[in-house]
Chain A
Amino acid sequence: MKLLALLAVAVLVALPFVVGSYVVTVLIFIFFYAYLGQAWNIVGGYAGQLSAGHAAFVGIGGYAAALLSAHAGLSPWIGMWIGGALAALLGAVIGYLGFRFGLRGFYFVLLTVAFAEICRVVALNVDAVGGALGLYITFTGNPRQFQFQDNRAYYYVALVLMLASTALVRSIERHRFGAYLTAIRQDEGACEALGVDTLRVKMRAMILSSFLTGVGGTFYAFYLFSLQPNAVFGIPLSVEIIIRPIVGGAGTVMGPILGSFILSPLAEISRTYFAQGGWNGAHLIVYGLLLIAVVLFLPQGAYPALLRLARRRP
């Protein structure tokens, strides 16, 4: 019921006034990764074009906004759209090369990884963008520079990002565009036979997805105050982006959110309880086992499993 959804949102809005800064930080990352996951969901979930290189878009968006802020004094509130546009440009290039040349499945995955790695190596070696040292953002707490003295302000920005992207995906799902995406994922050949311009549809999905991810890059840069090529273009970040929607259910509206709400607290709890002893790395073993368990027991994702459970009730 819409009422319950509104209630949930109200709870989330009220939460920062009740809980401490640590929980707020954990929730910020939950929302932020849900946002990135939702952006990925458009092209990776709905359209079924698995990209494991989305970190490239985060990086480009973040670097663009950070450089514009440092060298041109441009507020990141404006810079983030430019960053998003540049990321969308790269997305268009990758999309065109991949889709035009008919790369499917694992081949497309590897194309996206290759581009992300190229971005990473270039960023490591070009002094103008900071090289391996990366870019550092001065902490001023000035909202005009997309910085806040209070952690809770970031919370609301991240919450808005998550809700807005979810609303967008929900809207896509209900319109023809969404139907096309799902159809392409299920059987692209049939779509083409029916006269759908699959290249155009996929390109739109890719551009939208990379644009949104690029915008997220600005949040990343101005929340973590530094951009290092290995961290922000690297495969581990791409992995973090995709595991949440996959666990939650790729190609569903609630998948990225559910996945994020499951995985982030599990990672935190795992690290808190297993990382104190002398066994460094035990918490990540636990986390890996959890991922395996999710795949074995919820092979369609958490959200579809939940729906099935709900439907079984009389």
Chain B
Amino acid sequence: MDPTLIGQGLLSGFLFGGVYSLMAVGLTLIFGVMRVVNFAHGDMMVWGMYLAWMLSVRAGIDPYVGFVVCAVALFLLGLVVQRGLVERIVDAPHEMQILLMLGVALVLENAALVTFGPDPARVRSPLSQATVWLGPIFVDLARLLTFGLAMALTGALWLFLARTDLGRSMRAAADNPYGARVIGTDVRKVYGAAFGVGAACVGAAGALVSPILPFQPTSGLGLSVTSFNIVIIGGMGSLPGAFVGGILVSVAESMGAVFLSPSMKELVSFGLLIAILLFRPAGLFGKTAG
């Protein structure tokens, strides 16, 4: 086996892990606070990507700047979905929750199809073409940047949860919703904010990876499945878990592509998922509670 290939595979996998981490952060937040599984996660992200694309094509705004707009837009969408839909079925059986988000996913996917057409799109950003060479190994600058942004976003979210009142309320509501109500937390408002912030992360993630990942209206499902994998492996509700999980899955897939047939690299991440589910279902960073 060519050591250059292995080294390159490790590095590429590691850097691409930043992309994966970004995808997973919003999802883990929503689940961590509300115990809601957002099956429309991937489709929301696709909308973030399309919004970034529109900003780039119509207004010439680079996605590395425009992601803020996408975050705000998706925050509003998340708020609407939570207040209008999710909140109303908080007592319904689990399967209804799944059905609801599946319906939302279907609507989002086909609204994108009707609005943007079926062709795959990618956002062109001058950065997405640049590389830096360290001997025989190269570093993809766009991915390096995304990796850095993933760290920054995760860090910012961490600070938000630890230092701000709203963030602390979210953590309280996550740990003990009843107790949080007892001490006067407006749990309804907290849930709305959590879903909104989670959606904002998803929107930002979509915008930031739009120069790297080509997307179509039907890309949502694949993104959802990958994100769920990462979140479980890292630990539901854990931000460092989402970050490390993303890198781990990406490196595992990359090594799968090097040593096995690349068309089977998904087996590696699913195998990892099953192993985690069986031996440490709370995930690498999750709390091993009941």
Is A107 an interface residue, CB under 8 A from the partner? Answer: yes
Stretch of B8-16, B64-72, B105-113, B182-190 at the chain-chain interface:
B105-113
Interchain CB contact (< 8 A) of A280 among B93, B113, B270, B271: B113
Whether A299 lies near B221 (C-beta < 8 A) is: no
Number of interface residues of B (CB under 8 A): 44
CA distance A279 to B91 in the complex (A): 36
Stretch of B96-104, B133-141, B147-155 at the chain-chain interface:
B96-104
Stretch of B55-63, B162-170, B244-252, B258-266 at the chain-chain interface:
B258-266
Whether B270 lies near A235 (C-beta < 8 A) is: no
* Residues of chain B lying within 8 A (CB to CB) of residue A102: 281
Given A110-B273, A111-B274, A121-B266, A291-B103 contact (CB < 8 Å): yes
Stretch of A12-20, A160-168, A205-213, A239-247 at the chain-chain interface:
A239-247
A: contact size bracket:
35 or more
Interchain CB contact (< 8 A) of A103 among B96, B118, B277: B277
Whether B270 lies near A117 (C-beta < 8 A) is: yes
Whether A295 lies near B37 (C-beta < 8 A) is: no
Whether B94 lies near A105 (C-beta < 8 A) is: yes
Whether A295 lies near B89 (C-beta < 8 A) is: yes
* Residues of chain B lying within 8 A (CB to CB) of residue A235: 221, 225
Whether B274 lies near A114 (C-beta < 8 A) is: yes
Whether A113 lies near B225 (C-beta < 8 A) is: yes
Chain B 113-156 interface mask (CB, 8 Å, partner A; 1/0): 11000100000000000000000000000000000000000000
CA distance A50 to B273 in the complex (A): 18
Is B232 an interface residue, CB under 8 A from the partner? Answer: yes
Near B by CB (< 8 A), chain A positions 42-73 give: 44, 48, 50, 52
Given A107-B277, A117-B270, A121-B266, A291-B110 contact (CB < 8 Å): no
Is A284 an interface residue, CB under 8 A from the partner? Answer: yes
Is B1 an interface residue, CB under 8 A from the partner? Answer: no
Whether B107 lies near A288 (C-beta < 8 A) is: yes
* Residues of chain A lying within 8 A (CB to CB) of residue B94: 48, 50, 105-106
Q: Smallest distance from the beta carbon of A145 to chain B beta carbons, Å? A: 33
* Residues of chain B lying within 8 A (CB to CB) of residue A295: 85, 89, 92, 96, 99-100, 103
B222, closest chain A residue (CB) = A235
| Contacts A281-B111, A295-B103 supplied; 12 other A-B pairs, CB < 8 Å | A102-B281, A107-B232, A107-B277, A114-B229, A114-B274, A125-B261, A242-B98, A246-B99, A250-B93, A284-B110, A291-B100, A292-B104
Q: Can you list 20 residue pairs at the A/B interface with Cβ under 8 Å?
A: A107-B277, A109-B98, A110-B228, A111-B274, A125-B263, A239-B102, A242-B95, A246-B95, A246-B96, A280-B118, A281-B217, A284-B109, A285-B110, A285-B114, A289-B103, A289-B107, A291-B102, A291-B103, A295-B99, A296-B85
Interface residues of B (CB under 8 A from A): 37, 85, 88-89, 91-96, 98-100, 102-107, 109-111, 113-114, 118, 217, 221, 225, 228-229, 232, 261, 263-264, 266-267, 270-271, 273-274, 277-279, 281
Interface residues of A (CB under 8 A from B): 44, 48, 50, 52, 97-98, 101-103, 105-107, 109-111, 113-115, 117-118, 121-122, 124-125, 235-236, 239, 242-243, 246-247, 250, 279-282, 284-285, 287-292, 294-296, 299-300
